[in-house]
């Protein structure tokens, strides 16, 4: 994979994940090539890479379209993620270090400050970091890989759930429970806590799907 293809791939992917490019939106190779400063052939390669990540659909003679998921597809993905996150948390509870626990405590403290100050973008970024610490502590790398694939596909929807009224405080409480289970190295409690967290995210999406698009 060449450097220019990498640049084009990351540029387009970032626009998709942050919602600049919307679901079902058509992508024009000429416009992308001009905006990024690369050739159309490079754009074609980047779009094929994005298709493999299930972020775009590429059709012959029709170009590329941003992948749009139905509510049913999103819920199915979240149900799969719930099971996988449980496996990862169970492994993390067994293997997590005191340094990782301290890192989670610091993250959670800052997350709490962001909620009080209505800094929801910053909260969401730390939310992601919180989960990454857990992933790094887990030995189930295959489950983590599958989780990251799902999270990439649903990022633009999931990122907005924190804006749903009442969800931010509930999310924080769920993360507190996860941390307590990890601190006590209670594998069953950690598994249940994180599965409950993902289930609540799923329910929030189901109840607010049109708002989150």
- Residue spans of the domains in the chain: they are 3-66, 71-212
Encode pLDDT of 38-47 as tens digits: 999 999 999 9
pLDDT at 156: 79
Question: Buried (b) or exposed (e) across 27-61, using 16+ Cβ within 10 A?
Answer: bebeebbeebebeeebbbbbbebbeeeebbbeeee
Collapse the DSSP code of 147 into the 3-class scheme (helix H, G, I; strand E, B; otherwise coil) and give the result. helix
CB 107 within 8 Å of CB 126:
yes
Is the pLDDT score of 184 beyond 90?
yes
Residue 2's pLDDT band, with cuts at 50, 70 and 90, is low
Give me 79's structure tokens.
């149900």
64-122 per-position pLDDT tens digit: 999 989 999 999 999 999 999 999 999 999 999 999 999 999 999 999 999 999 999 89
Q: 3-66 in CATH: which number? A: 1.10.10.10
pLDDT of residue 99: 98
Residue 160 has a pLDDT of 83
161 touches 155 (CB < 8 A): no
Tell whether domain 71-212 is in CATH 1.20.120.530: yes
pLDDT score, position 18: 82
pLDDT, residue 118, reads 92
Residue 60 confidence class, pLDDT cut points 50, 70, 90: confident
Average pLDDT over residues 202-211: 91
Above 70 in pLDDT, residue 1?
Answer: no
């Amino acid at each position: 994979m060449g450097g220019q293809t990498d640049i084009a791939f990351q540029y387009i992917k970032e626009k998709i994940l942050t919602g600049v490019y919307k679901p079902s939106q058509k992508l024009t190779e000429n416009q992308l090539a001009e905006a990024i400063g690369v050739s159309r052939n490079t754009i074609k390669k980047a779009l094929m890479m994005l298709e493999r990540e299930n972020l775009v659909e590429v059709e012959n003679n029709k170009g590329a379209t941003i992948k749009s998921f139905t509510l049913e597809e999103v819920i199915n993905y979240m149900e799969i993620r719930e099971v996988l996150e449980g496996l990862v948390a169970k492994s993390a509870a067994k293997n997590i270090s005191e340094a990782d626990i301290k890192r989670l405590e610091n993250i959670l403290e800052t997350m709490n400050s962001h909620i009080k100050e209505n800094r929801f973008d910053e909260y969401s970024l730390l939310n992601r970091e919180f989960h990454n610490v857990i992933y790094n502590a887990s030995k189930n790398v295959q489950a983590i890989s599958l989780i990251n694939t799902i999270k990439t596909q649903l990022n633009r929807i999931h990122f907005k759930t924190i804006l749903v009224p009442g969800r931010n405080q509930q999310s924080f409480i769920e993360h507190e429970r996860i941390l307590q289970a990890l601190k006590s190295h209670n594998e069953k409690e950690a598994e249940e806590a994180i599965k409950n967290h993902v289930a609540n995210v799923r329910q929030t999406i189901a109840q607010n799907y049109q708002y989150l698009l």
